[in-house]
Each structure stands twice: as structure tokens, then as C-alpha cells.
Chain A
């Protein structure tokens, strides 16, 4: 949870879209695409990555303080936006990391446009349908009681989940904005693209799929199925984390990712 225009937040314009972005560190380029929550500039996960890389973490249009043009409202738009962002980066290969909803975007980008990418890391990614038509894979965070969502989202909700009473008005506004944008992009089909599964096989990058072992939003079994669809992808669990390992176990997560980048 961050303040609006938190210190260190930067701006980035892609076409007509003004994005809030965190930039830190130097070296190889890592682009991080966030999940349900944006990360604040001082987030430990970004800080740890930035010790070994130049990290670029935009807030999706409609999230945080990023603008969302009125006719920008689908995952298709987001995929094109980030393809354009990646194309605009200096020469050299990029590591793309996506978490949860951002993992869906990262998988779409890697399947459609891998030429600028060196490695792919998916952290509890959404985006595909695995189980049968009467078994939802992904917890419906909009139609489920918030107490249940809270319990299923974190390994230790009492320690990790946001305490809304302690948040500033500005942080609550960001939270509501994030939720509105996520709802617009992910409402239906709920958090997946029925066509993506078929094309995950196109991803010809070294890929690491990481999963919070306690994730109750979408289980590790889904993660294993996801990884199995990407040729050569490795699947690993992050202990002590639920659906948001980047917030709940930033040290463990960053260590695994950096180990994957420099084996």
C-alpha cells in the first residue's frame, strides 16, 4: 500500500498514456508487471532486485496514479502497451517478471513477442483456464466476502494483509482505483484469456514459474499445470507466501529470481 505519488515514484509516457513508474538500480533490465497491488518505490522486493539490475515497474493504466484513457480497457490494450514499452527500451535483452494479473500479461507478451526478452519469471500468474467448466480456478475476489478473500490471499493474513484502518485516505483511494481497474480488465472471462493456453507453447525462453505455497486465490496445482504448458519451464514453490509473494516473502522471492538470472 502506498501513498499517492509516493516519494521516488517517477513518470513514464507511452503514446498518450501517462504512467506512474518505479525505476531503480542499474545493470541488466528487469521489467516488473504487478498484480492486484502496485508496489511502492521503496518496496523491499524492488530494492533487492535493483541491487543487481535496472528495475522498471510501471503501474498499469487505472492503477495507482497511472492514467487510463477512456477507450483503454482490455488485456489486449495492456499487452500492446507493454510491448511498446519493451520496444522503447535501450538495446539488450530484458527479463520480464509478472505477478498474478501481471503474470498473465507477461505470459501474453512472451507468447506473442519474445524477441526482446531474455528470461521470463511468472509469480502466481493468472490468465488461463485449467479445470472443468464448473470448477473455478481463480478465487472470485469481487463476488466473495472480503474476509474470505483476505484469508485466502496471504500465508499469514494477520501479519501480511493490509490494515485498512491504518491506511491514509490517499492510500485507500489508490486501493479503490486498483480494484476498479482490475475489475474492468479481468471481470469476464474472469482473469483468463480462453485463447492463451494454446499459445503458451510458443514461449521459447528460459522460464521460471514461482508460486506462493499457501496461495488460496489460485493453487499451486494450477501453477504446475501452467508451467507444464511452457516448454522447459521450471516450477518452484515459495514457502510462507500466499498469492502475493512479492509482498509477503520479498527476500525469498528476490533470491530465487536472482539465482535464476545468474545461475
Chain B
């Protein structure tokens, strides 16, 4: 198993009263609450942490989110470019610039090819569907978001692979008559990742053989999504995928002791209890967020209780229903988060054992994408966690060999 560190560079320094008063901490919170001097310090710390990961043998991963306290990484390729230059050994996963929000996939391909060349072939490309508040932030039509997502991926992949002079693309959402990017990427073929929990998209991710990432989904949801991937491959007559094609993303915090790991790890839950707050027009009432027979119910002021727990994958994208947020996420405890496989925290032995157990429970995954710093976790706490993880946990995770699970 490989491990990938990520920090979304959140901005938790907004006064609590402001966050409590706002109906959304994303999309509409005025940026006067973001002090660029504080932001500069946060970026400096986050980049230093990434460099420490490089030193400790971890790979690195950069995400993208827009216009909110949850993340200042609205321009993912800029961070990817910095990591391409400043790290030396780590694989660099862009997970990823939000392609369904961007008007020019060819420009995205240029950014990625440039980063791949600067890093001398260490770039991996991840694609996230986006949703929620980001539809407003990017003026992106939520109804045909998925169509744009796949078409952009196809165009980016072709632009990166094509070496025979200009080609033309006249697709449904993107047209570009003269595609011929310089430099071409260092790698002949860049590995592609996709983060999704919904079975329909997971099936397409499976048919394409991309690395399938589940974010904060817990064991049951993760098993289901991996199964959709595997079954889609089987139905398409494609060879079975090994666990190297699967990734899982969770909060991770390692301390000297179980108590320290949990105590510091608890700070990571800020992501759930503070940074997801999203007004209804950006979340449960956003057009296209669910099929009409489901979406219509969201207009009730007293929604019927959902059959099972919170939809954490949607929560990651800011599209969890407000009632779900209120009921489940705001109040989630360390114990619950650990029990659900959303947080792996403790001392090195404990963290390893919990990851291994989760790995076995879901049928195996080859990549742990670890949300290692968010909320008010300090730079010093992050660095300590990175060092302990790199020294004590990672060598043992590396011993976990890829497996090919039987079909569910």
C-alpha cells in the first residue's frame, strides 16, 4: 500500500460568530474574512509539510475547492506546479483541478503536462466531479455536470497522449479545432484517478480502469462502490482489477500515544462539523443533485428521515442535506468517526492496525489518501504526525501486497 498526504489548506480563522451567523461557509461568505497574510502563512506551512512528506517517503496529493473556509486551493495546478519543482521523490497526485468547472480542458492538459515535465514524470491525474457550492462559484450548470466531466477527461487524455500534430475536437460541451500542446508530458501514459461514491460513476471509473477513490465513505459504502467498479469491469469483459486500482481517503493522525493521536485527531473533525455548512440552494435544493423523486422531497420543511446514515461522499462535495449535517456530522465524535473508518487516529501501532482492519473489511485498497491536516490542527502537530506515520506506519503499510478480490 502507498500513502498520499493531503492538506486542503483550510482557513479556520474566521470568527465563530461569523460562521454561526452565515447560512453557508462556502460560496457566499465574503472574502474580507480571508486575511491574505494569514493565508500566506497557511500556504507556507502546508507546502513545508508536503516537503517533509517527500523526505519521509510519503506521496503527496493536492485537491481543489472553491470560495470557502474548507479550502484555499481554488487553483490546484498552481500548488501542483510548486510541488513538482520542490519535491524530489514523491509521486504527486492532483485530485484534481475540477474539470467540469473549467472552460478549457486543453489548458488543463497544458498545466498538467508542464507539471509532469517539471517533476520529471511524477504526476498522477485525479478527477473529481465537483458539485454543491462550486456550481455557484464557477457558474457551472449542475444539470449536465457529469457530461462535462467525462468529456473534459477524454479531451485532456487525448491532448496528453497525442503526439502527431494538431487534432480537432468538436464535442458536445467543448470544441477546440487545433490541439497540439507543448511540452508533451514526460510520462507516456499518466495514471488517472477518480473520486466518486455513486455507483453509476464508479462503474464508468471501473470500465476505464482508473484508480477509484472513496472519500470518507466508511466500510459499507466503500465496499459497495468498489463492487460497482469490479462488476462493471466484469460485465464489460475486462480483466479484474487488483486493489492497486482502489484508494480510500480518511482523516489520519498519529501521536506518540493512543491518547495523543485521538486528541489531536479530533481537531480534524472540524472539516465535518464546521466546513460543510452550506445553504440549501447550494446543497439539497441544487438542481440535478438527486433524481426528481428524491430531490422533490427536499422541499419539505420537515423531511422524512433518511433510511441510513449521512452521505459523506456527497458531504465532501458540500451537497449533503442540511438536515444530515445537523443530525450527524456536526455532532460526530472521535469514537464514531473511528468506528466508521472516517478517522484513523492513535499511536503508530493503533493507526496501522485500524487501517489494516479497514483494508481487510472492504476487500483491499492500494492507496491511502490521508487528510492529515485540517481545521485548527497546528503545523507542529502535522509535522509530528507526518514523521511518525512515515517512520512507524508507512513501512508496515508498504508490506500489504495488492490483492484481487472475488466479485461480490
Contact = CB atoms under 8 A, between A and B. Distances in A.
Contacts of A165: 300-302
B190 interface: no
Contact of A183 (B23, B142, B293, B297): B142
Interface stretch (B213-221, B280-288, B324-332): B280-288
Contacts of B295: 176, 179-180
A188 B139 contact: yes
Nearest to A180: B287
Contact of B293 (A146, A173, A179, A182): A173
A145 B284 CA distance: 12
Contacts of A142: 136, 281, 286-287
A135 interface: no
Contacts of B279: 145
B169 interface: no
A179 B292 CA distance: 9
Residue among A165, A176, A187 having the largest count of chain B Cβ atoms under 10 Å: A176
B296 A173 contact: yes
B297 A169 contact: yes
A176 B143 contact: no
Nearest to B280: A146
A184 interface: yes
A144 B142 CA distance: 15
A169 B144 contact: no
B143 A169 contact: no
Contacts, number: 70
B287 A179 contact: yes
Interface string A207-218: 000000000000
Given A183-B288, A187-B141, A188-B139, A175 B296 contact: yes
A244 interface: no
Interface in B265-294: 279-282, 285-288, 292-293
Interface in A94-151: 142-146
B299 interface: yes
A200 to B, nearest CB: 26
A73 to B, nearest CB: 7
A184 B302 contact: no
A196 B279 CA distance: 34
Interface of B: 23, 27, 136, 139, 141-144, 279-282, 285-288, 292-293, 295-302
Given A142-B136, A177-B292, A183-B287, 14 more contacts: A146-B280, A164-B300, A167-B299, A172-B300, A174-B292, A175-B299, A176-B287, A176-B298, A177-B296, A179-B287, A180-B143, A180-B288, A183-B142, A187-B142
27 contacts: A73-B144, A142-B136, A142-B281, A142-B286, A145-B23, A145-B279, A145-B281, A146-B281, A165-B301, A165-B302, A169-B296, A171-B296, A173-B292, A173-B293, A173-B296, A174-B296, A176-B293, A176-B295, A179-B287, A180-B287, A180-B288, A183-B287, A183-B288, A184-B141, A184-B287, A187-B143, A188-B139
The 9 closest A-B pairs by CB, nearest first: A172-B296, A183-B287, A176-B292, A176-B296, A176-B295, A164-B299, A187-B141, A184-B143, A177-B292
Interface of A: 73, 142-146, 164-165, 167, 169, 171-177, 179-180, 182-184, 187-188
